[in-house]
Every structure is written in structure tokens, then in C-alpha cells.
């Protein structure tokens, strides 16, 4: 075995007893390859240190020579909550509650929903009202929109593979379902995502 740090050669047992970062450094200097660690699913992980949380602690790394998991003291969910709380306090933003909120704020958005809509292939075209107020479906929409989740982006020709912006319209959930029902009665069924085998990535 080649010479390690400070001209000292470490045995595997000594490396196994080291902090994982020190063990990695010394093992690499001695030309020791990383041991194959077990599958995450094959291990029984200790519970999160936060009181009342039963999630398993997060594995942040694996020991270079022993293959043992290196744990964070808390689970991933608690870690994200703590991270978001610290970010919210530091930046004085009361609406940031979780990691997706943090990402949204960093990118200049005022809500996670606005951020997610901006990266969605067609939801970014969603207006804040039902376009059927102009009676394009044969009657005027009278739905009282009190939440943007009541609004859908509809493919006018019912073909989700047609991503031309001119093929999008915003309909409330009621008008959207009415339009789909009329299309089915007229043509038997809509092309739809399942029919076309299209999956959102």
C-alpha cells in the first residue's frame, strides 16, 4: 500500500473510523478505490431528530471505505422547511414557506404558483379570466373566478400536440368541461393526452 497523508499509511480499519471527508482524502492519496455502498432501500435508516417527525434522516454521502451512510441530523422535509424559514427571515418575505417558494423568490416571482406556471409548456399562457365571456362556446361564462386554480388552459382543437400559442385559450373549469363534453358528443372522443400517448415532462 502506498504512503498516505504525512507519510503515514492508514489501514482500512483506521480509514473506516475517520470522518468521511478525511477518509476520502487519505484513501485517494493511498490509491484506494471507493467501496461500493449498499442501496438506500436496503437499509433501515434512523428517524429524523425533530420531535414528532417519523421520516428517516437524509443520507448526504457515503463513507469512502466503509460504505456506511453519512446522515444529516434531520429528514429532507424538515431540512427544506428550516432552509426556507431561514431564507424567509433573512430576506423578509413572509410568503416563503418551502423550497419551491425559495426558488420562485430567487427568480423574481411573488409566488411559487407564478413560477411553476412560467415554466409550464402552456400554462404560462393562462389569462386571469375565462375567455368564454365572449360567448365563443355559444353562451357567456358567468362563473365567479375567485382563485386562479379555477382556470384551465385549453387546446382549442383538442389536440395537445398542437402547441401553437394561437391554439390556447383560457377557460374556467365549468366551460372547459362543457367544451369537452360537446366535443365527445360530436366526434365520439377527444384526442386527449392518453389517446395520443403524450406525457408532460
For residue 140 the three cell numbers come to 357567456
- The most confident of 7-11, 100-104, 115-119, 181-185, by mean pLDDT: 100-104
pLDDT (average), residues 14-27? 96
- Interior angle at CA 44, CA 32 and CA 75, nearest 5: 90
Which is more confidently placed, 2 or 190?
190
For residue 128, give every residue at least 6 positions away whose Cβ sits within 8 Å of its Cβ, in sequence order, or none. 145, 148, 151
- Cα 135 to Cα 153: distance, rounded to the nearest angstrom: 17
Strand partners, 131: none
Phi, psi (deg, nearest 5) at residue 191:
-55, -50
Question: For the whole prediction, is pTM greater than 0.85?
Answer: no
Model pLDDT for residues 82-125, shown as the tens digit of each residue:
999 999 999 999 999 999 999 999 999 999 988 998 898 888 89
d(CA 20, CA 34): 11
Window from 59-63, 95-99, 115-119, 196-200 with minimum mean pLDDT: 196-200
What whole-number distance in Å separates Cα of residue 187 and Cα of residue 67?
60
Q: What percent of the chain has pLDDT over 70?
A: 89
* Helix intervals (H) in 92-200: 99-106, 112-119, 173-187, 192-196
Asked if residue 163 lies in contact with residue 121, where contact means CB atoms within 8 angstroms, the answer is yes
**Mean pLDDT along residues 129-139:** 95
Q: Which among 161, 153, 156 has a CA at the least distance from the CA of 198? A: 161
Instruction: Answer whether 61's CB lies under 8 Å from 50's CB.
Output: no
pLDDT number for residue 184: 75
Confidence of residue 174 (pLDDT cuts 50, 70, 90): very high
Under DSSP, is residue 159 helix (H, G, I), strand (E, B) or coil?
coil
Amino acid at each position: 500500500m502506498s504512503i498516505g497523508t504525512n507519510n503515514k499509511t492508514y489501514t482500512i480499519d483506521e480509514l473506516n473510523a475517520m470522518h468521511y471527508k478525511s477518509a476520502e482524502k487519505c484513501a485517494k492519496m493511498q490509491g484506494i478505490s471507493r467501496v461500493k455502498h449498499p442501496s438506500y432501500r436496503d437499509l433501515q435508516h434512523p428517524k429524523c431528530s425533530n420531535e414528532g417527525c417519523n421520516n428517516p434522516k437524509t443520507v448526504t454521502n457515503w463513507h469512502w471505505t466503509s460504505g456506511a451512510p453519512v446522515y444529516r441530523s434531520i429528514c429532507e422535509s424538515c431540512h427544506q422547511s428550516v432552509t426556507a424559514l431561514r431564507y424567509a427571515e433573512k430576506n423578509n418575505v413572509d410568503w416563503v414557506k418551502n423550497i419551491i417558494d425559495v426558488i420562485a423568490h430567487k427568480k423574481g416571482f411573488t409566488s411559487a404558483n407564478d413560477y411553476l406556471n412560467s415554466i409550464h409548456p402552456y400554462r404560462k399562457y393562462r389569462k386571469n379570466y375565462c375567455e368564454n365571456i365572449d360567448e365563443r362556446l355559444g353562451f357567456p361564462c358567468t362563473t365567479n373566478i375567485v382563485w386562479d386554480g379555477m382556470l384551465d388552459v385549453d387546446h382549442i382543437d383538442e389536440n395537445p400536440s398542437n402547441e401553437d400559442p394561437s391554439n390556447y385559450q383560457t377557460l374556467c373549469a365549468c366551460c372547459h368541461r362543457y367544451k369537452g363534453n360537446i366535443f365527445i358528443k360530436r366526434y365520439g372522443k377527444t384526442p386527449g393526452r392518453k389517446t395520443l400517448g403524450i406525457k408532460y415532462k
